[in-house]
Structure 1
Amino acid sequence: MKAPEGLPNSSKKFCLLKKSLYGLKQASRQWFAKLVSELLSQGFSQSKNDYSLFIRDQQNSFTAVAVYVDDILITGNDQSVISTLKTHLHQVFSIKDLGKLHYFLGIEIGYLPNGIALTQQKFTKDLLQSSKVDISKPAVTPLPQNLKLHQDEGELYSKPSYYRKMVGKLNFLTHTRPDLAYTVQHLSQFMQTPRLPHINALHHTLRYVARASGQGILIQGSDKLTLQAFSDSDWASCPNSRRSITGYILLLGGSPIAWKSKKQSTVSKSSSEAEYRAMSSAASEVAWVVRLLAELQIHSL
């Protein structure tokens, strides 16, 4: 930091920063450290499995706080604790209470008789408008059947930034659309030099998204919160590197809570090896979810 102009002998003076200013590299870290200290002072403990999750479990009172930068979700079974926490945070940070959760980080939350629906309808609508793709003929599959995209086949696309922007937005859409996980993983491989076959596949995916713009996931209540995991692999499916694709999904009480589609880091010599690698990835996710659920007082899985 430089001394302000007009200060005598400014080359020999230094500025002492008493408050972390917005825009500095350390500002976000200082903000989170301040928020953590305030939550700890209210009896919360920081999760060991997700550092943005804070838990307060005392006798029959349970409260959880999820933090994303300066957006905070608070839930629990003791309304008095929640009210006290919001009052304290308002005194320290002057927060705005938006009431019951309906919209968070681009995800719309709907309350139904049989559960909670998570969708991204508004984001999907904006995505389709910005893509300027003709959606009058919606597609029924995320990608054309039996499609194999190659890295160096086809003419180079003239607007690679458009391709990268659309794939990036589709990647955000996978937060509530597990059916797009493999498609986005496949299209993301050609971000550096997209070609016409890649952009045609992208437009096909956008027409599929337009077919059900309000589609999302349903989180249902269940008497038995059984954790299930399913994994699969597509052996040597990449025509360029011959690496396999891993896919898995985790269900808690029949509701999806985690999923992924990813190209394996090494070449598997057999389909059995590819399956074992997929199982290993799913097992690692299960181990983490079990530890996280245990912190949320969910033990019988």
Structure 2
Amino acid sequence: MSSSVFQYSSPWWARWFKATHKALSFSPEHILVTNWRGENCQLNWDGVSTLPDITSRLWFKQVSLSSVNGGVSFAGLAKKEVERLQRAFNLHWYTAKATSVHAYITQVDELIAQKGYFRTSHWLSMQSELDAFEKRLPPLPPEGELPNVIDAVFAKAWTLVSQPQWYLKRSREQYIHSVLTQHAALFDTVESMPLTEKQRLACVIDEDNNLVLAGAGTGKTSTVMGRVAFLIQSGKAKPDEILLLAYGNKAAKAMKERLAQRLGINGVAVNTLSGTEYCWSSRRGNAVHQPVSRR
């Protein structure tokens, strides 16, 4: 690990090259700078917005720092002195920034965990926040200079802003694995035969809109039963918050009986498409007293 100690005092001729300050030193708490009149000023690490700007001037280097208190510059540094300055600066600066960066990532992870399956609409609502976070996020630190725990914070932060879809995909996969493991017994027994892997996925994926394509006899109704049972057992919905629709009265009646007799679930609204259209039309006050015919 690089040393956190750094002190520098500019030669007398540095002021000819517009060096605003004579000396600086680093500590974990702040940067101490001294102007040519011998006056000291402390700069907090959180107030330093960017990495040092280093330019070559004839046979030496000039270093400029930007902070909320204004800019400061030093001249006359040799190459080795600049390298020491950079290592010490990186250690203190990234360590100070890591606290707020880690806090934001933790907030994002907690929000995702709270939502369960993180829907696309949830992610899109966060996009403006992520864009703002990226603008204030420091660049990745030089490899091998900082403690591993600090490196890990910035690596995760840059993964979040540079590969958001991968980050979202991983969080969803973790959620799916967790709930499938937690509710395995339910999916094994909800029907006479255990649900298949794809049926289970259809039960637990909670996207804004789910489209399940399946042919005749492939277990569509079994999947619906599993979905209802999962929503209720996991506490994501109550029976009176669920609506099931079927094309015909026979299918609707069969679903209602399977819920009650096999799963002991009552209170789920089960209706036909035409019957539901009739109810909606009546509630809107339309003069419709016949189920809407389908052509």
TM over 0.5: no
What TM bracket, shorter-length normalisation? under 0.3
Q: Structure 2 length normalisation: TM-score? A: 0.23
Higher relative contact order, structure no. (Cα contacts within 8 Å, ≥ 6 residues apart): 1
Q: Structure 1 length normalisation: TM-score? A: 0.22
- Rg bigger for which structure? 2
